[in-house]
Structure 1
Amino acid sequence: MKLKILHNIENKIYFIPSLYAISATFLSIAVILLEHSYGRVLADLLPAYFFTSYDLSKTILSTIAGSLFAMITVSFSTIMVVLTMYSSQFSPRTMQDFLKNKITLKVLGVFIAGFIYSILTLLFLNDTLQGTGDANIFSAMIGVIVAIVCLGYFVYFIHHAANSVQVNLLIENLKDEVIEIVDSIEARNNSNDQIRNDPPANLNTLTNREAYQIKPQKSGYIQKIYDLELTKLADEQDLIIRAEKMIGDYVTENTVIFKVWQLYPAAEFKEDFTDISEKILTNLVINNERSKKNDIEFGLLKLTEVALRAISPGINDPNTAIFCINQLGWVLSRIAVANLENTYYYNDKDELCFILEDISFWDLLYKTFYQLSHYGNQDVSVAGSILDALVIIAEGSPQSVKEQVWHFSHYILGGFSKEVLEQEDKKFLNHKIYRLARETGHKKEKENYYQVENS
């Protein structure tokens, strides 16, 4: 339950700025208390230029507060411009990549923190030190340091915003996000002996019995499944739990999201099943939007949508689409060797506790390219780039993946409009399919399959 609450809080845009705002509040209180209680001691320890008079301190802090408020306004306007461009030029799904980017949120947090520090310090100065003409106030110096830091962050934010609207950098970032998710899942699975990709020999016997069904309490997208916690719960209750839906799936109150079997059929539940069901659902996070943190398919979807926008008649930027498709090929090649399709969780007694069956590689391949194949069926460059991506996937992959890639190329080329091909186009595509056939071990079949003749 605590993990679920923490996950929901961390996904909120206001989480990081709130941390900075709270920190600035404590800093302001600490500085004023220190100044009020140990002002003379500080005057003896610190150089004289650290201190200012009350009037000068008030002027400095007022100026800083006004300047930072203006920075916040400019930054907010910049964010709205970038979000508009993301929505119209790239994909509405990519907006959260900028809006929830840690750099963006940290910059806003620093500006808000500086503004709060200045305002609160002004308030405390008015209450405690008004009328003192001595130059014994050092909170203004702290305010100046904060202002300089904010100015540096402002310059960095402008640089970040300028880079964010460059489509090649956006595509690279989207690719790196998916690769990071794959790497983290694979590293965790490899480091835990209780997580395996091999099912038990008696899996069918265990799961062919009548199952208890669990449905969610609200509709939305699955953002997180706490698999290790569910494994521990299943072990404690002598259960086998299977997730019927994956991260990124949309579910309603009528969707069966978990199926539960008793490990020992003749035994009774250790608790009331309603209580067990509630405990299981506490290890599930459902929200009204998909999250990019754990959703591999969502990351691929965003890359696909950027490519689709690039080949649309309104934008007509095939080179961006080609670059994006190449990155899709690299991501899928990484997924192909990660072996993430099926994951089985065992307890210390080597008994199956939890099953989380992820999307198959074939389905992932299809969902990544089927829209690109449909909307780019008359663009030779798109067909060629998809074949290049399939070659990238086949390189270094096991033979089972190579076979899937080769058969998938039939689907891609079968949906292409042959009528638009000229002789040079045919030569171009013949070369691509030859490379793929050679890489997948189907060199003898390439002429028989691809129904385009050389002149």
Structure 2
Amino acid sequence: MQKLKLVYRETNWWWPLLYGVGGAVLTAVVLMVDLYAKELFPNDWKTTLGLAQTIHSAVFTGLLTMMTFTFSTILVVLTTYSSQFSPRTLPNFIENRQVQHIFGIFIGTVTYSITMLFFMRSSLKDSVVASAVAVIVVLIAVIAFVAFVHIVSQSIRVTTLLDRLHEEGCTLIEEHVEAINGGQYQLVPENRSTYSFGLTALQTGYLQAIDYELLMKSGERVAIEVTIGSYVTQGQRIGSAEKENVEQGILVGPTRSAEQDFAFVIQKLSEVALRAISPGINDPNTARHAMRQIGDLFRRYTMLLDGNLLVNGEGSVTVKRLAFSELLYLTFYQLRHYGEEDISVLSTMLESLEIMKRNALPEHRASIDRFIPFVCSEVDWSALNDWDRQHLEQAQKRALS
């Protein structure tokens, strides 16, 4: 089930294909009406065969041009995402269902027009529904095009991307918390459980997700010794199980997926911030906004205990999780290095740490307090002017309070 869900999320041609099939089905329905039910419609709906052919020819030509423009715009947006934000954020636009539906409407309309134009014969004499339907689908396509322009204009804004990444991370945490409150998930102390049969990776790539239902379908107990999102090689030991041949429930692919990987969402936010403070872009305010979003996600995450994830059902699956202190370090160690000369970036990093502590468990608060001096450890305080030094000292004091 989890594999199908992952394929559905990462498959970008599914909805456009369905709309294309829908356009062909619409052609069949309209032809049947024109051949056998034309008398049910008023004479105002009827057009000559020549006019109907002209209308469908114009619709096909216009929609084909609109599709070309749409495709070119999508490529521009993808280039912007890759160069300005991060290559890892490309799926956040490609997997946007609104864009897929709009592109599907264009494909369905073109399919209807070209197939209807092909099947128009002199035997139809008067076209009853075909021309009217052509006008209706064109109007729908125009509305979809306007919506597409709006979506692209919003998607190209970095704040929209950051908000979507933040929402993606919040959804993952909420699902996690609900499963824990419902008793499906438990957080247990880290202890290496070893069963009779070893689990090995079937291919080289990233551990994208785990299909818990498939692993537990026969009551097996399984222990995964690597974290979701880890890079594994073919034949590498990644865990153990009570029975053989259960690796099909462990999904490994060429890229990381945010389906169950909270750390990957954090990484994408960090990469946007890193790209923003690079000399080529030099947009520290975007980096500051991204770090505040990271702080809010961690604020929700720090309410969870450290430890392995135990999933109970007919059997049980234990999955290794990153310790909070390790995840904290992996999130900020590059930002700290490349932003050490920008006081605004350092102070916002401290602000982000302050946000994390608001709902944090005591052990996580202690980890954050130990991490705060690390953020400013490479700052040459003697080289700072009085205003910068005072601003950074106050930010550090607030974070430690």
Which of the numbers 78, 96, 112 marks the counterpart of 2:91?
96
How far, CA to CA, are the matches of 1:248 and 1:23 in structure 2? 38
In the alignment, is residue 111 of structure 1 matched against residue 111 of structure 2?
Answer: no
In the TM superposition, what are the counterparts of 1:349-360 in structure 2 within 5 Å? 353-360=316-323
Instruction: Extract unaligned runs of 5+ from structure 2.
Output: none
Q: Is the 8 A contact 1:222 1:247 kept in 2?
A: yes
> Which residue of structure 1 lines up, in the alignment, with residue 147 of structure 2?
156
> Which residue of structure 1 lines up, in the alignment, with residue 225 of structure 2?
244
Deviations 1:65-109 (A, max 9, x none): 111111110001111111111111111111221122112211111
> Which residue of structure 2 lines up, in the alignment, with residue 373 of structure 1?
336
- Cα 1:420/1:108, change in 2 over 3 Å: farther
Once the 2 structures are TM-superposed, how far is the Cα of residue 253 of structure 1 from its aligned partner?
Answer: 0.6
Q: Is the 8 A contact 2:222 2:316 kept in 1?
A: yes
Report the 3-state secondary structure (helix = DSSP H, G, I; strand = E; otherwise coil) of the residue aligned with 2:222: strand
Instruction: Extract unaligned runs of 5+ from structure 1.
Output: 263-272, 439-455
In the alignment, is residue 216 of structure 1 matched against residue 209 of structure 2?
Answer: no
Report the 3-state secondary structure (helix = DSSP H, G, I; strand = E; otherwise coil) of the residue aligned with 1:354: strand
How far, CA to CA, are the matches of 2:361 and 2:187 in structure 1? 16
Q: Is the 8 A contact 1:318 1:382 kept in 2?
A: yes
> Which residue of structure 2 lines up, in the alignment, with residue 178 of structure 1?
169
Which of the numbers 227, 231, 250 marks the counterpart of 1:284?
250
> Which residue of structure 2 lines up, in the alignment, with residue 449 of structure 1?
none
- Cα 1:169/1:16, change in 2 over 3 Å: same
How far, CA to CA, are the matches of 1:355 and 1:88 in structure 2? 39
> Which residue of structure 2 lines up, in the alignment, with residue 317 of structure 1?
283
Tell me which amino acid in the other structure corresponds to 2:128. Answer: I
How far, CA to CA, are the matches of 1:75 and 1:157 in structure 2? 8
How far, CA to CA, are the matches of 1:24 and 1:312 in structure 2? 47
How far, CA to CA, are the matches of 2:158 and 2:303 in structure 1? 28
> Which residue of structure 2 lines up, in the alignment, with residue 437 of structure 1?
400
Deviations 1:167-216 (A, max 9, x none): 1222111111111122123223333x3432246xxx96x93x56421212
How far, CA to CA, are the matches of 1:321 and 1:358 in structure 2? 27
Deviations 1:367-391 (A, max 9, x none): 1111100111121111100100001
Tell me which amino acid in the other structure corresponds to 2:138. Answer: A
Q: Is the 8 A contact 2:93 2:155 kept in 1?
A: yes
How far, CA to CA, are the matches of 1:286 and 1:139 in structure 2? 48
In the alignment, is residue 363 of structure 1 matched against residue 348 of structure 2?
Answer: no
TM-score scaled by structure 2?
Answer: 0.93
How far, CA to CA, are the matches of 1:28 and 1:311 in structure 2? 53
> Which residue of structure 2 lines up, in the alignment, with residue 257 of structure 1?
238
- Cα 1:116/1:418, change in 2 over 3 Å: same
> Which residue of structure 2 lines up, in the alignment, with residue 424 of structure 1?
387
Q: Is the 8 A contact 1:378 1:417 kept in 2?
A: no
TM-score scaled by structure 1?
Answer: 0.83
- Cα 1:132/1:323, change in 2 over 3 Å: closer
In the TM superposition, structure 1's runs of 4+ consecutive aligned residues that sit over 6 Å from their partners are none
Report the 3-state secondary structure (helix = DSSP H, G, I; strand = E; otherwise coil) of the residue aligned with 1:232: coil
Tell me which amino acid in the other structure corresponds to 1:163. Answer: Q
Once the 2 structures are TM-superposed, how far is the Cα of residue 220 of structure 1 from its aligned partner?
Answer: 1.3
Specify the structure having the higher radius of gyration (Cα).
Answer: 1
Once the 2 structures are TM-superposed, how far is the Cα of residue 257 of structure 1 from its aligned partner?
Answer: 2.1
Report the 3-state secondary structure (helix = DSSP H, G, I; strand = E; otherwise coil) of the residue aligned with 2:228: coil
| Cα RMSD for the two superposed structures | 2.1
How far, CA to CA, are the matches of 2:124 and 2:37 in structure 1? 16
